[in-house]
Amino acid sequence: MNKNSVVAKKKFGQNFLKDEAVLRKIIEAMPKNDNKIVEIGPGLGDLTRFLVDVKSVEAFEVDTDLCKLLQSTFKKEIDTKRLHINCGDVLQAWQSSLIDEPYDLVANLPYYIATNIILKALADPMCKNILVMVQLEVAEKFCATAGEKVFGSLSVITQSIADAHIVVQVPPTAFEPPPKIDSAVFLIRKNADRNNENFEGLLRVAFKQPRKTLMKNLSVMYKKDLLQVAFLELNLTPTIRPHQVSTQDYHQLYKKII
């Protein structure tokens, strides 16, 4: 098999990034540091080719056909230890840390598990920065600020330990085969290791029914009189909706009601 005879497999979310200008933008946006690079889903190796020029790379690819192809394409880089390829499902390989040294995740992610991968990377203390291509809608959720309609638990989880912004929006024509939706590359720069799990539990309850009031959602789990005092102290009106409360106020609320 060679690169040109590969047929993209839908079940693995294979949309190969062909636009060289976008590949260069990803490289330019990489944080400057000594961390190793982890690439999830190197695919045909188009992004990998740029990455190994800059740093050493630990890659995870589930598709055994692509794994074999990558092993022959990158024989020299593998021999010189510039690249190491793990063949298999990254989610199965992922214990509390994916590798045992500080790393930045740089990848064009398989969209069907992109949110799950980003949440795992956020909780992984060895992961320091995340620069990934995902569905535009998903990138917007991670980067939203309080008050925006799409501001939700993903935004609060991210912004509690990092700052996040969209680097570039990418149209379907940049890929082969083109996906049906727009994509975006976004960057998360972590400034703390991970969130408290109980805090994430509060967020799940807070955003369970996004159109209802925050008070209504939280009273399923927490005592109403405790909530009323906390809301009053934080100047939150009883009718406020979950997306209208800032990350900082969620932390204050957590301190007062847990």
Site residues for ligand SAM per CB under 6 A: 12-17, 40-44, 46-47, 60-63, 66, 89-91, 108, 110, 113
Residue nearest to ligand SAM (CB): 41
Q: For residues 73 and 82, what is the distance between their CA atoms, to the nearest angstrom?
A: 13
Q: Between β-strands 103-108 and 127-135, what pairing exists: parallel, antiparallel or unpaired?
A: parallel
Q: Identify which of residues 18 and 216 has a Cβ nearer to ligand SAM in the complex.
A: 18
CB 5, min distance to ligand SAM, A: 16
Cβ nearer to ligand SAM, comparing 42 with 242: 42
Closer by beta carbon to ligand SAM, 13 or else 152:
13
Shortest gap between Cβ of 180 and ligand SAM (angstroms)? 13
Cα-based distances in Å from 255 to 100, 136, 196, 198, 248: 33, 33, 12, 11, 11
Minimum gap (Å) between residue 235 Cβ and ligand SAM: 44
What would the two tokens of residue 156 be?
A: 């609060």
CB atoms within 10 A of CB 164: 20
The enclosing H or E element of 255 equals helix 247-257
Nearer to ligand SAM, 70 or 206 (CB): 70
Report the alpha-carbon distance of residue 228 to residue 236 in Å, rounded: 9
Cβ at position 176, least distance to ligand SAM in Å: 8
